Amino acid sequence: MAKVAVVLAGCGVYDGAEINEAVLTLLSLEQQGASYQCYAPDIEQMHVVNHLTGEPVAGETRNVLVEAARIARGNILDLASLDVGDFDALLVPGGFGAAKNLCNFAVAGAEMAVHADFLRIARSFHEAGKPIGLICIAPVMATAICGAGSRCTIGNDAETAAAIEAMGGEHVACPVSEARVDKARKLVTTPAYMLAGGVAEAYSGISECVKEVLALA
């Protein structure tokens, strides 16, 4: 049975992990016979967003690990403790937290920096020849993790695709129900809510991404 590390970037589409994507990732892993352990960085979120209004909340702070524990029902560990040797693959659901907490793409675009612990761990998976699945907006980190020329998708958003190419990646268009595989780098990406109009559409691509990741493990 393959064992997969799943990194969550908080809880909530606007400032953390996209909840549906996270749950669908875990569901797909179970359905396809894999086990998993969730991780999140023990850091403060970039900011807190009121998910009813979509507006940032002034003066409020939340911890990414504590928030992500809501999705994982408390069964989650500090990202800094992740031992790559314990796992066969890495999966990262999207949500703005991937672009705000795991990196700062949301504010810096192609000049972004990736959170040091996450980058160290993700690169260790790549260097060990273990597959990595990046979902939704998370593929903006593909080149930082897997190097120049990494082939990935965020669907068809022209601005984000251009930023990926500016960072040295190769963006390939992809419908919501599919995933794209860079076999040389064992990198799998899918658009999910970059394109999905609902839960079923998001599930179609996420389950395909999980299938491809497990096939490479």
Domains annotated on the chain, with CATH: 3-216 (3.40.50.880)
Look at residue 204 in the predicted model and tell me its pLDDT: 98
One pLDDT digit (tens) per residue for the chain, 217 residues: 999 999 999 999 999 999 999 999 999 999 999 999 999 999 999 999 999 999 999 999 999 999 999 999 999 999 999 999 999 999 999 999 999 999 999 999 999 999 999 999 999 999 999 999 999 999 999 999 999 999 999 999 999 999 999 999 999 999 999 999 999 999 999 999 999 999 999 999 999 999 999 999 9
Q: What pTM did the predictor assign?
A: 0.98
Q: Are 45 and 64 in contact (CB under 8 A)?
A: yes
| Token pair belonging to 96 | 């703005």
Phi/psi region, residue 179 (left: phi>0; alpha: psi -120 to 50; beta: rest), is: beta
For residue 139, the 8-state DSSP code is G
Give catalytic status of residue 11 as yes or no: no
Catalytic residue among 11, 136, 174, 209: 136
Look at residue 38 in the predicted model and tell me its pLDDT: 98
Report the length, in residues, of the chain. 217
Greatest Cα pair distance in the chain: 45
Look at residue 108 in the predicted model and tell me its pLDDT: 98
Q: Which residue has the tokens 């969550």?
A: 8
- The amino acid sitting at 31 is Q
What secondary structure, in 3-state letters, does 35-51 show? Answer: EEEEEECCCECCCCEEC
